Amino acid sequence: MRLAEMVTFGGSGLDRAAGLRKDQGALAEALKTGRVLPVWRGKPLMAGAGLGWLEAGNPALATGGPAVFLGLDDGVPRFATDISAWSPEAGAEAVEAGFFDPSVQRHPALDEAYGFVELRGVMTDLSPRAAELAAMAKAVLHWHRSHGFCAACGAASEMVQGGWQRSCPACGAQHFPRTDPVVIMLVTHGNSVLLGRSPGWPEGMYSLLAGFVEPGEAVEAAVRREVFEEAGVRCGAVSYLASQPWPFPASLMLGMRAEALDATITIDPDEIEAARWVTREELVSAFAGLHPEIKPARNGAIAHFILRNWLADRLD
C-alpha cells in the first residue's frame, strides 16, 4: 500500500540512535542538553498543540523514574520519564481501562499551557515526529510499569540500556519491551465491508474486526480464524495493507485485506456485540456523519485509515 506510512504513529524517520543505549556516560551527557517528556499514568504532557518537553532539571520531573532514551530528533536528544508517583491536588486518576479519559491534569510546577491528556484525544493533532515520540514513550514506560519483576525468578529487575532492557541482578535474566501483534481486517464481499462493534464502545461506533495473533500462528491464519470466531464468516485470499504501532498499551496493528467466501454472519456474543455488512454508499454516509445508525472508527486509528482509503480506491 503506497500510503501505508501516512497512518497515525506510522513513523517519521526518527533516529533512534540505538548505539547510544549502551553508553551510560554519553546518555548522561545527552540528558543535560536534551529534553524530557513526562508521562503521568499513561498520559503524555502537552503544551498547547505540541508535546510538553521539559529540561532535565525541571521540578515537575522530581517524582520521575529513570529516563528512557527515545532517540535524536534532528540532533536533539529526546527522553521520557514516568511521573505517575505524583498526585494531583485535584482531579481524578487517569482512566487506563476505559475507552477514553477526557480529564486533564495540571502540574503546579508548570503554567496553565501544560497538561497531561489522553493520547487518543490529541493523536491526530500531532506532527508525525511528535506522534512517533509520544507512542514510543507511552508504550515503553507502560512496559516498565508492568514488568518490574523478573519473569524467571521473581526478583526486582533494573532498567538498563537507556530504558530498552531490564536486567535481573539475582539470576542475570534479560528482558526486553514487548509488542503484541494484532491483525485488523478489511473483509469485503462485493461492494460491502464487514464491520463490528465491541461492548463499551461509544454508541453507534463500528470498526473493522481485529484480534491478537496467537503463538505459532501465521498472520494469514490469524485473519481467517478471528473473522470466523467473531462473525462466523469464512475468508479466502488474504493480503497485507499497512501497519500501525498502537500504544494502548503496546500493540502492532497489522492491517490486512481478506475476501469473504460467503455473507452469512453468525456472531459470537463473547467476542463482539454486533456485526454487519456495510455498503460503500452507507460508509460514505457514516463518514459524513449522516448515517442514522453507524459512526466510523476513531480518526487516527488504522481502521479509519484503511476504510477511508478503501472508499477512495487507494489500497494498491
Query: What is the DSSP code string of 267-284?
Result: --TTT-SEEEEEEHHHHH
Model-level pTM greater than 0.85?
A: yes
Model pLDDT for residues 109-147, shown as the tens digit of each residue: 999 999 999 999 999 999 999 999 999 999 999 999 999
- On whether the CB atoms of residues 279 and 228 are closer than 8 A, the answer is no
Q: Cell 498547547, residue?
A: 48
Pairing mode, strands 209-212 and 43-47: unpaired
How crowded is residue 165: how many other Cβ atoms within 10 Å of its Cβ?
A: 16
pLDDT reading at 5 higher than 60: yes
Tell whether 290 and 304 lie within a shared domain. yes
Residue 241 and residue 292 in one domain: yes
Cα pseudo-dihedral 17, 20, 25, 28, rounded to 10: 30
What domain range is 53 assigned to? 4-146
Residue 211 and residue 229 share a domain: yes
pLDDT band at 200 (very low <50, low <70, confident <90, very high): confident
Could you tell me if residue 67 is inside a domain? yes
Smallest CA-to-CA distance from 159 within 28, 169, 151 is with 169
9 and 142 in a common domain: yes
Total domains, the chain: 3
* Mean pLDDT, range 279-290, rounded to an integer: 97
**pLDDT category of residue 94 using cuts at 50, 70 and 90:** very low
Express each pLDDT in 230-253 by its tens digit: 999 999 999 999 999 999 999 999
- At residue 316 the predicted structure's pLDDT band, cuts being 50, 70 and 90, is confident
What percent of the chain is predicted at pLDDT more than 90? 93
> Do residues 92 and 57 both lie within one domain?
yes
Judge whether 49 lies within some domain: yes
